Chains A and B, each alone.
Chain A
Amino acid sequence: MRIGVFICECGTNIAATVMTQKVADAALALRDVYHSESIQYTCSDPGQRTVMAAVQKHNLDRVVIAACSPRMHETTFRRTVAKAGVNPFMMEMVNIREHCSWIHDDTDEATEKAIDLMAMGVAKVREEVPLFTSKVPVTSEVLVIGGGVAGIQAALDIADAGIPVTLVEREPTLGGNMARLDKTFPTLDCSSCILTPRMVEVKHNQDIRLIVNAEVEAVRGYIGNFEADIRKKATCVDEEKCTGCYICVEKCPSKAPDEFNAGVGESKAISIPLPQAVPLVASLRKEHCRRYIKGKCGVCEKVCPADAIDYEQEDRIFTDKFGAIVVATGYELFDWKTAYPNLGGGHYPDVITAMQYERMLSASGPTEGHIRRPSDGAEPRNIVFISCVGSRDESIGRPFCCNVGCMYLAKQAILTKEHIPDSQSYIFYMDMRAVGKDYEQFYRRAQRDAGAIYLRGRVGKIYPLDGKLMVMGADTLSGQQLEVAADLVVLATGFTASDGAAELAQRLNIPYDQFDFLSESHPKLRPVETTTGGIFLAGTCQGPKDIPDTVAQASAAAAKVIGLVSRDEMETSPMVAEVNHMRCIGCWKCIEVCPYKAIEKQKLRDGRQVAIIIESLCQGCGICNVACPPSVVSLRGYTDNQLISEVVEVLR
């Protein structure tokens, strides 16, 4: 065993507080250390060459580098020693910068500590064994979950690289929430005009297989080699035959709530959510259908000219292999009614959500673009908008900002003025957050051009009076209480995670936060990755955001996916758990605690059942190592012996 120790001066970053030569001298006194030296900048090209030359000259087989954090340069120095012929996992980094020279001012104390840390590194590296990365093949097909604008963007970007994509959407059509919007801020682009062509592109792209009315039911496997079960729900309509002629919808006698239109207007039990639906296919909701409730009907089957109705249709399960998964499951709007009894709690028909208002504004919506009070169908004059309903409100446990409310209310105020020129918009807001490109100017435009009156304060109460809704609130800028008589009140409801997001996260083994938004691996440096390799996030499933950010994130996720699945095989880290089969007692404690289902039972030739680690699934957390009663599960790179040797050395 021949160990080399290199102490980095990092210019003066380390050398100003730590006497690096003294540390190097102390290293030479340690058992098995055959060479040590202090280097000015070890990570620089000449510094790395010094290390490589010393390794070769002194025939070193293990290296300790005392420098900055291993989180900074561990990969760098693994490569360096590998180039010199040392197994890259026989290099141990010791942190004498962030954890020593930068946080102490006493040179003696810092030097003493650096010597201790270096000696711990030497003790640990002595216990190291050569490790080798292994290669696993990568499946090229990609699964995208969610067909809103994020999923559409990701699927198209990935397919543009010639990679096959399966896009799974829970609803009967692509489009998600964006398809319900009338126009988008700050350009007032018509939402359908920019989105529906993308939806059609998905449909016609030969590399994309679109499965609507479907959900991902189970996911097995690991990065590069996932296997997913996709359940396609029965809709009583043969998608291959349906032409989207709408005859069944017109003739259907069963009324049903219109979810696409946020409850504005009514739909039928058999319906097509919107005229630009992709695919343009009807689907039947059994819970609202007379045939299934009362046992007799069959109108749609009789009138269908394409013979597409199939009441016997059953759910189907597809099972396929995927190399990577993009989760783009979007958001839902906060259900405000129980949380805000002071706003009427849903008892006043003329208090509506901004999404319902959006559907009224839309020319293809249920009111054909006319703004109507739900109570009497009259055109409103005074419209009060209320910000932050279910956002930034710790009293109901929702402290976060929805990121888009300020801007979409500005947009709706501008559109209101266009629809009803003699109307007056009032906007109660908490703080104006207009942080995107051109957003501030857009907000000014709502004030200047649309004449919207902004009132800074929360609304305390809404009550009806003489056919109007009296909105009582504070104007915190003038310090006065106000009352505005409104014909219509529009609530900017906040975002919640999409229904079932946490369950999906559990199926995928990816973390989520207390609000069920899915967690990225690192907020700055790994914003679209999850902590599970091969699974990526796009859009509002990760947290509230606007359309530009959603699309940017979707393209970023696509780029990551393309980089991953473009390779035929990939390297896996060897720093994973292993089991000493000779001594495994088959108690399966390790299987119980493994967060990644990376341990399985295997029958040996002598008939004994033992635990085996599936290396490509193991992420190297080491929970099993601690759980194992006879201590025969061992995490490579952090074995019991390695950690004990560090402890013993530092306390020597």
Chain B
Amino acid sequence: MDGVEGQAGDFTVTLVKKPRYIIEDKCTGCTTCMEYCPVEYPDPFNQELSQNKAIHIYFSQAIPLVTYIDETCLFLKEQKCDICRGVCQNKAIDFTQTPEKVAVNVGAVILSVGLEPFDPSVRDEYGYGRLQNVLTSMDYERLLSSTGPYEGRILRMSDRTHPRKIAWLQCIGSRRVTPGDNSYCSAVCCTYTQKQVILTKDHEPESECTVFHNDIRAFGKDFERYFQRAEQLPDVRFIRSYATIVGEDPQSKNVIVRYATADEGVKEEQFDMVVLSVGLNPPTGNRELAEKFGIALTDHGFRQGTADNPLATTRTGIFVSGGFQGPTDIPESVFSASGAGAQCGQLLDYRRGKLTTERVYPPEKDVSGEEPKIGVFVCHCGANISSVVDVPATVEYALTLPDVVYAKQQLFSCATNSATEITDLAKEKGLNRVVIAACSPRTLEPLFRDTLREAGLNQYFCEMANIREHCSWVHSKQKEDATEKAKDIIRMSVARARHLEPLQEFDLPVDKAALVVGGGIAGMTCALSIASQGHEVYLLEKEDHLGGNARRLHTTIEGLDVQAYLADLIRSVYANPLIHVSHRAVIQDVSGYVGNFFTTVESETGVQQIKHGAAVIAIGAEEYTPTEYLYGEDERVLTHLELEEKIAARDEQVVGAESMVMIQCVGCRNQDRNYCSRVCCSHAVKNALELKDVNPGMDIYILFRDMRTYGFNEDFYRQAAEREVRFIRYTPEEPPQVEAVESEGKPVLQVTVADPIMGQRLAIDADCLALAAAVIPSSSTKEIASLFKVTLSPDDFFKEAHVKLRPVEFATDGVYLCGLAHYPKHIPEAINQAYGAAGRVLTLLSHDTVVASGAVCEVREDDCVSCGACITACTYGAIEFRETPRGRKAWVNPILCKGDGLCNAKCPTNAIVLKHFTDEEIISQIDAVVTAEEIFETR
């Protein structure tokens, strides 16, 4: 990026495109040039652990999947060698290319420039680069990968042997104020380390894994369970200790780690390998980038946002998503990306759709009169398949199968040029069925269906044979058997392909309005974003006022005046003519489907039926009412929300207290609620700092299990410690005890807790006790879930369709999710997610139609005996009886049918058929498992 001019709505961004020295259109990614290139240099994608060539493909899933030439090239350096130019049959290599300047005119910019892993070589103490068997977690990630330096084998650098004892050192480069380190918590390392431990045990069940950590920060959704899963594996130790690398054993090259435990004091232990769990730095070149875009950075070097909009920068029209906001995990990166999209939409809605052109497919060929003519394409998937399966042998085999008229191998069937090849060959060879033997249909089936449409074939004539996940990846050590199995899988797919039928998808109209359930910060933010893009929004609030839980919050830890912000937000909602708010609203019924919902709502204005295309569930959460620690019995015992309200009101009982104790993890991280409420540690620190501001002399104690002040909130934790807030760790086995007693003639709450450092019980006399009460699912969760037919996670928060891929959507089409209903979170996170949900809603509502699948059920009326077995089997209410001239027959509403096929398995006369998965299609596969000669003759 060279420069940017203009303003929001009309930026001109100048880009300099470096030469690839490859003509992209001509390169097929065949990699012949790579074989001949004489220059080897450390591969940056594999963390320089393995070698690559000067001409190479960046990594196996790179887009576009073509080569480029690195500056290590001998020709580029000294015009010495041009072997690649000689061996390239497509004449794709072009050394005359020069840097190219491109100017693009855009209305808005999203900076999704990511993060940079911390480089531990900046500090000698980590031994990185000095000791061979010390790696970073990023290095280790590559070792674990099947496309990594050793094809997924974990090997030591020093002697290429399998390490048996591996240690992870947490917080490398994070939570430290020493020069070169970052003071903040990188937020993702605890969980990625647990993932690496689980994968290591998976690779090598005998290995011993030790994690040296400070706190375990399992604050994300389902993270607590994930930690337990890692911790409970055999030979896995989590040791709470600061650990340092002392050196290495000169013979074995084992790494010596020094650490301390409460029982054994300081000790040294040798490990075959040490992994540094490195934190996250701001992206490289952040300052230059900020200067070019004219945006401000924080002291930590991330973008400066605004307290009420984490996706904004200090310049209008320039947004951020993902890691440039700060340490971010994948789900947050994904929904913040949707959110940034929504904000661009708000800015540019007036010209939505002006640059789009409709995709036109060639007319569909009628092949109903033809015999099946099947083409089989077997994918190498780089080396993913071909390193195990003998691909040419499977191609040859495919040609012997019935109705197969053509078969071919491809390096990557998913690459653009391969897809074009499939289209072209389908036309040229007159194919009417195509079998792609490659990976799981889960990821790429849509692409290959599209490929068929381009060839004028019905997309349901595409069949995928999964020879990667189901074969090469799991049988890497049995190459011959794997090849035979790949043949079996292909034979089964061919058998099925012979029976495939063309199916028609149909377009459903989309109602342009949205329904948002819940008028808290998340619901209102989402409603405003949708409305500002021209859509009517019906906002339902069960109370008689908007605001939700935020009504009880006064500041955020970053210093946002929550009440002022909330008042503004509520005013904007009421002022927006497209937003219709219903107070005291109760949903009575929800019917319909994506694009066409009908929701019956009773509210203060009576009962109304709302027609809407999308729904957002933002019903929030509640505060747990403690039964522990004298809560409800003694008025000096408060929850943190109550404490916050009293601090804001300058209640003398609270701000005048000489001594205050806070107990964390009340009502969660236990058997009843096996999750972390995420917000309470920061909430406690915030309240402690507020109290110190008002009454600097107050003694404040925070009794905690793990301080989970992740991300930038770590700085506030440190601030609190510096201001003499005392932090005392307790364990669930020895929880604090609270008693109301008299001490020196004064009534106090006496809190006793085991002090792990002193090794004795500590008694604190407190005037006030604040409990970090858990955030629990809203009491209406189950009712709302059943009305909208959406599911819940084990802890009864709403369950997204996919944690990473679809974090703000439900499996039920047209229904979305944000805010505390998803999981406890801080206000900026809820705002992020609310914009994210709005972005997904807009993706639906900005279209006039949605497409319904062709793979739905259908009744063959002649065979239907109207027994009703299908109707009772269908949970979607998609089947009903209809009167026909030949009596009562079952009928399927194809829009409501989800294609699960339960009815098909229940029908005694096989009258109801799940299209694309018919008995004939499935049985043909079952029969093809064995070759004809193997089948019982008596069948």
Tell me if chain B binds chain A: no
Q: Interface residues, chain B, CB within 8 Å of chain A?
A: none
Q: Interface residues, chain A, CB within 8 Å of chain B?
A: none
